[in-house]
Amino acid sequence: MKDPAALRVLHENRYHITPHIYVAPGRVNLIGEHTDYAEGFVMPAAIDFATLAAVSPRGDGQVVIYAENFGEERAYPANALPTKASGEWSDYPLGVLATLAGEGYTIPAMSLSLWGDVPLGSGLSSSAAVEVATATAVTGLMGLTIPGPKLARLCQRAENEFVGANCGIMDQFISANGAEDHALLLDCRDLSYRLAPIPADMALVIANTMVKHSVAGSGYTTRRAQAEEACAILATHRPEIRFLRDATVADLEAWGHEIPPNSLKRARHIITENVRTVAASEALLANDMPTVGRLMHEAHVSYSKDFEASCEEADTMVDLAQDLPGLIGARLTGGGFGGCTINVVQKEHAVEFAAALKERYQKATGITPEIHICHASAGAHSVS
Ligand code: GLA
């Protein structure tokens, strides 16, 4: 799949100069869904799918961006870069450049070639991988060292303010700061984090329902608005509740009757998910995999029933995994309404697990899923 040497050759053939190459991964979220924008906890891992960025300086004052996935090139004057999104793939790298420019950095003339294998629209953060790859490459070219958490925040702002998708910090953060063979528990309030090793005998099996997911879609935005409505009502009683991170199940018991029913359910998901996510990180640190699996299962039920962000196919994929040998835990991962399930599976069973799940899902839905046996990979880095 992604091959830095091939991208180097491609870039050299187009721009006649040897580039520096950087890589930024996609992610899978083990647990902690729709908690990031509520200043809560998430526990993602970076995965093998990634975006590669090749970058080299230019002498003609242009910023030239080439996307191998689309076979398309765009060129702009470095001192007059677009300030508005166009609805095209170029919004993601341009959003990063606009955000850096907004921070006072002068964007140099450059050639930037991008090539990724994170499946698009599958809830594995293809957008964050492009943003973080761009930011790492461009800051590398500029000779800047921006710490991972800050780089992630810049990329989130690119997506919020330039692309116009109202995402939280999780995807950009794990792409910038992931660690090989580890999950990362992130406190989205202060961006402090700790790494938890994924035991060597466990595989991350990612099962794509093939139902398209989009953070820009209305489902994500509606859920977020409902959660924020519930939070605002609770805050009228306890002003210290600034985000749902600050609320408890007891708050819902006391004042839930004032909250519209759907918003109440969204809040219950987020509040209980925060508790489950911290507990899952502790269980992972203690190598207590049965507890990790149970919490993942409870998280899926909450995501499906309270948050109502699953879909029939994802519920089917999770159900069909339950009695397969080697399964520790399965749930829908990412923004919801389609995309992939994450299955933590004992490594020795992973190949048969993947084959059996594929067959069962195909039989149940008529859809051929893509199933990948992954491992937790490193965050963004130079591969030159
Ligand atoms: C998408 C967003 C993230 C996060 C998840 C849901 O991936 O980009 O910020 O909100 O959905 O957990």
Q: According to the model, what pLDDT value does residue 1 have?
A: 47
Handedness of CA 311, 317, 304, 48 (dihedral sign): negative
Ligand 1 pocket member 170 (CB < 6 A): yes
Q: What is the pLDDT along the chain (384 residues), one digit of tens a residue?
A: 479 999 999 999 999 999 999 999 999 999 999 999 999 999 999 999 999 999 999 999 999 999 999 999 999 999 999 999 999 999 999 999 999 999 999 999 999 999 999 999 899 999 999 999 999 999 999 999 999 999 999 999 999 999 999 999 999 999 999 999 999 999 999 999 999 999 999 999 999 999 997 776 789 999 999 999 999 999 999 999 999 999 999 999 999 999 999 999 999 999 999 999 999 999 999 999 999 999 999 999 999 999 999 999 999 999 999 999 999 999 999 999 999 999 999 999 999 999 999 999 999 999 999 999 999 999 999 997
Q: 161 C-alpha vs ligand 1 centroid, how far in Å?
A: 16
DSSP 237-268: H-TT-SSGGG--HHHHHHHGGGS-HHHHHHHH
Q: 309 C-alpha vs ligand 1 centroid, how far in Å?
A: 12
Atom from ligand 1 closest to the CA of residue 125: 7
Q: Kindly list the domain boundaries of the chain, sorted by start residue.
A: 4-197+378-383, 202-374
For 60, other C-beta atoms within 10 Å of its C-beta total: 9
Tokens of 316: 């089917």
Q: 91 C-alpha vs ligand 1 centroid, how far in Å?
A: 19
Q: 111 C-alpha vs ligand 1 centroid, how far in Å?
A: 30
| Pair type for strands 62-67 and 110-116 | parallel
Atom from ligand 1 closest to the CA of residue 165: 8
Nearest to 95 by CA among 53, 158, 150: 158
Site to substitute for ligand 1 among 28, 30, 36, 269, most atoms within 8 A of C-beta: 36
The distance of Cα 206 from the centroid of its chain, to the nearest Å, equals 13
Domain topology for 4-197+378-383: Ribosomal Protein S5; domain 2 (3.30.230)
Q: 188 C-alpha vs ligand 1 centroid, how far in Å?
A: 12
Ligand 1 pocket member 168 (CB < 6 A): yes
Which residues on neighbouring strands pair with residue 327, listed in sequence order?
Answer: 345
Q: According to the model, what pLDDT value does residue 384 have?
A: 73
Please say whether the beta carbons of 33 and 299 come within 8 A: yes
Angle 133-137-139 (CA atoms, 0-180°, nearest 5)?
120
Cα separation, 6 vs 347, in Å, equals 31
Cα separation, 61 vs 374, in Å, equals 41
Ligand 1 pocket member 338 (CB < 6 A): no
Is 171 in the active site? yes
Beta strands in the chain (DSSP E): 20-31, 41-57, 62-67, 72-77, 110-116, 182-187, 192-197, 202-208, 327-332, 340-346, 370-374, 381-382
Cα separation, 184 vs 29, in Å, equals 9
CATH number of 202-374: 3.30.70.890
Ligand 1 pocket member 306 (CB < 6 A): no
**DSSP for residue 184:** E
Tokens of 120: 């698009």
From 91, 171, 306, 315, the catalytic residue: 171
Cα separation, 72 vs 217, in Å, equals 25
| Pair type for strands 41-57 and 381-382 | unpaired
Site to substitute for ligand 1 among 153, 160, 220, 266, most atoms within 8 A of C-beta: 220
Q: According to the model, what pLDDT value does residue 274 have?
A: 98
Ligand 1 pocket member 24 (CB < 6 A): no
For 235, other C-beta atoms within 10 Å of its C-beta total: 17
